[in-house]
Amino acid sequence: MIADELAASAQALLAGGDAAGAIAACRQALAVDPDCLAAHVCMARAKLPGDDYLAWLARFHAALAPATYVEIGVDAGRTLSLARPPTLAIGVDPALSGSAPSFAAKTRTFAMESDAFFASPDAGALFKLAPVALAFVDGLHLFEQALRDFLHVERHAARGSVVLFHDCLPLDRATSARERRTGFWSGDVWKLLPILREHRPDLDAFVIPAYPTGLGVVTRLDPSSTRLDGARLEEITRSWVPREWSDAPGEAPALPLVENDGPAVLARIRGASASGG
């Protein structure tokens, strides 16, 4: 009960415009109950003002009007439903919800794991006709799967394609662990960005600080790249699995953050596409 009261106090502080005070109250609540969902949500809103990830996904669809959109991790279909005609939307999730919303765009769903989908004849046939122009990855919340999903998408994409990743900006150490111990959970997908920045400097990879846990963006793709194939990918995975996020100032890996600013991000993406030919 004390944690809930502290979380309610934090929400009141945030509503009054005191983000710093709200964050401090959230931390007090989490010290009492490390799984206080209201405190995690309030802290995320205090730390990440501005457009949330759903607003960003809608913005990308409107600005890019992708011919082909791929979503990995469909759940109930809320994000997949953001695609608009004439986009062909493709959703991949082994546990598709039986009650999906209505889809405005022509939509195909595949109830299978993403690795199996990209190895299937369906993927080859679909992307031979129209490469992936926009993708959103929100699957297992584990960095190694997100990395494999990126490599799969890149091989079926074009230079100017855009790949988006949910959960790339940790709220704290507890909620960014590989094993889920809290209701609010982003997993360790955040590792994807420093890995790509180190091993694929040819890409433009950055994070928009959008509620609730950031939105990763990767552009300047190279479908012919083999830099992360085979043994090298396995080595990188082994190296990064044991690493954890640190809440201590200066100890967490630096993430390539940009401002939560629609025109600036879209200009950067268009510039990357234009320079790639």
Of 175, 176, 186, residue with least CA distance to 39: 175
* Alpha carbons 277 and 260: distance in angstroms, whole number: 27
User: Beta strand 204-208 with 157-166: parallel, antiparallel or unpaired?
Assistant: unpaired
Amino acid present at 131: P
Least confident of 39-48, 93-102, 157-166, 218-227: 93-102
Summary mean pLDDT of the chain? 94
pLDDT value, residue 272: 77
pLDDT value, residue 52: 98
Contact by Cβ (8 Å): 260, 208 = yes
pLDDT value, residue 276: 57
Choosing among 3.40.50.150, 3.30.300.280, 3.30.365.10, 3.40.605.10, the CATH entry for 53-275 is 3.40.50.150
Say if residue 134's pLDDT is above 60. yes
pLDDT value, residue 98: 63
Instruction: Give the model's confidence band at 277: pLDDT under 50 very low, under 70 low, under 90 confident, else very high.
Output: very low
pLDDT tens-place string over residues 176-206:
999 999 999 999 999 999 999 999 999 999 9
Say if residue 15's pLDDT is above 90. yes
Per the listing, tokens 């109950």 go with: 33
> Above pLDDT 90, what percent of the chain?
88
pLDDT value, residue 144: 97
pLDDT tens-place string over residues 72-92:
999 889 999 999 999 999 999
Say if residue 174's pLDDT is above 60. yes
> Above pLDDT 70, what percent of the chain?
97
Instruction: Give the model's confidence band at 250: pLDDT under 50 very low, under 70 low, under 90 confident, else very high.
Output: confident
pLDDT value, residue 275: 67
User: Beta strand 204-208 with 68-72: parallel, antiparallel or unpaired?
Assistant: unpaired
Instruction: Give the model's confidence band at 236: pLDDT under 50 very low, under 70 low, under 90 confident, else very high.
Output: very high
Residues of the chain with CATH 3.40.50.150: 53-275
Say if residue 228's pLDDT is above 50. yes
The mean pLDDT of 217-240, rounded to a whole number, is 95
Of 54, 232, 62, residue with least CA distance to 147: 232
Q: How many CB atoms lie within 10 A of CB 133?
A: 19
Contact by Cβ (8 Å): 151, 228 = yes
Give the pTM: 0.95
pLDDT tens-place string over residues 251-263:
888 899 999 999 9
Of 188, 166, 187, 182, residue with least CA distance to 79: 166
